[in-house]
Amino acid sequence: MSSNLPTVAWIGLGIMGSPMSENLVKAGYQVTGYTLEQDKVDRLVAAGGRGAASIAEAVRDADVVITMVPASPQVEAIAYGPDGILENAREGALLIDMSSITPQTSVDLASHAKEKGIRVLDAPVSGGEAGAIEAVLSIMVGGEQTDFDSAKPLLDALGRTIVLCGPHGSGQTVKAANQLIVAVNIQACAEAVVFLEKSGVDLSAALDVLNGGLAGSTVLTRKKENFLKRDFAPGFRIDLHHKDMGIVTDAARNVGAALPVGAVVAQLVASLRAQGDGGLDHSALLRSVERLSGSQV
């Protein structure tokens, strides 16, 4: 392990955070993790990282603090207060928030952190669980160029496409646009699946040829097996995509951008969640189309 690499505190070891933190360990970083579930801390320790009993313990001596939690309220809970990151991280530390939250939350966090001498990047990701495991995530970053440059080698261990999109909050704005595109794409694929099946076409063959043309997409590549097998084990939960659709529709309203198709898909995501499917993968939008088409049990 190189002593030249910055020490890392990782807060949030969920579906995305666990494999991402482990990839940093594989890249030679000293990673100390904290999350609410002890078994997930134990998983990081088994992978060669270290565990902490609190946020304060995890961040106290870290050069870089990375957070990956579900939404704005969780980011605020771990960042603020006497037991939070800002009160316990050392001056000069770099806080990289990789959660998907509102752009305003990121702007506010950067402002409060600056008062403590802590630098901040918002750096949400796209690529889902598979992208996290394979370290091929797309990482959209907001913040200062100098902070981005210092973080880039670390981010290279987590993703393949890493871009500074603008000032604080810009990463979150781009992530909101990403979630809009992904949701609409999944919905279109789901409708195509039901249409093809009801027409008696070989679904696997049809999806293969569609994915080889202009209709092809990373969504179709990643979610094909989910559609074919009706396997909706969560890689990215409907609950979280519902949260993200709220972010993008609200942010779009604030800037005066019309999202007519996005608004409809946001309602379909909300409907699926209301039917009790919030814990399923977002490819479960297929279930809604099947129900509307009279073919879902």
User: What would the mean pLDDT of 209-230 be, rounded to a whole number?
Assistant: 97
Q: What is the pLDDT of residue 3?
A: 60
pTM of the prediction? Answer: 0.92
The reported pLDDT for the residue numbered 1 is: 44
The answer on pLDDT for 133 being more than 60 is yes
Instruction: Identify the pLDDT of residue 235.
Output: 87
SS3 call for 52? coil
Residue 4's CB is within 10 A of a number of other CB atoms, namely: 6
Task: Compute the C-alpha angle 40/176/75, nearest 5°.
Answer: 40
CB-count burial class (<10 Å; 0-12, 13-18, 19+) for 7: middle
User: Cβ–Cβ contacts within 10 Å for residue 250, how many?
Assistant: 13
Q: What are phi and psi of 141, to 5 degrees?
A: -120, 140
Task: Please give the mean pLDDT across all residues of the chain.
Answer: 96
What ranges make up the beta strands (E) of 73-156?
A: 94-97, 119-122, 125-126, 137-142
The matching CATH number, chosen from 3.10.20.30, 3.40.50.2300, 3.40.50.720, 2.40.110.10, for 8-167 is: 3.40.50.720
Per annotation, catalytic residue among 175, 223, 224, 243: 175
User: Using CA atoms, how far apart are residues 176 and 248, in angstroms rounded to an integer?
Assistant: 5
Residue 287 reports pLDDT greater than 80: yes
**Distance in angstroms (rounded) separating the CA atoms of residues 177 and 179:** 5
> pLDDT of 37-54, one tens digit each?
999 999 999 999 999 999
Asked about 114 being catalytic, the answer comes back as: no
Residues 233-282 have pLDDT tens digits of: 998 999 999 999 999 999 999 999 999 999 999 999 999 999 999 999 99
Tokens of 69: 């939690």
Instruction: Grade residue 199 by pLDDT with cuts at 50, 70 and 90.
Output: very high
How large is the C-alpha radius of gyration of the chain? Answer: 20
| Cβ–Cβ < 8 Å for 120, 65 | no
Of the chain, the percentage scoring pLDDT greater than 90 comes to 97
Q: Could you tell me the residue ranges of all domains in the chain?
A: 8-167, 173-292
Is the CB of residue 179 less than 8 Å from the CB of residue 100? yes
On whether the CB atoms of residues 63 and 93 are closer than 8 A, the answer is yes
Q: What is the pLDDT of residue 106?
A: 97
* Segment 2-26, tens digit of pLDDT: 468 999 999 999 999 999 999 999 9
**φ, ψ for residue 74 (rounded to 5)?**
-70, -40
Architecture of the structural domain at 173-292: Orthogonal Bundle (1.10)
Over range 194-222, report the average pLDDT.
97
Coil, helix or strand for 63? Answer: coil
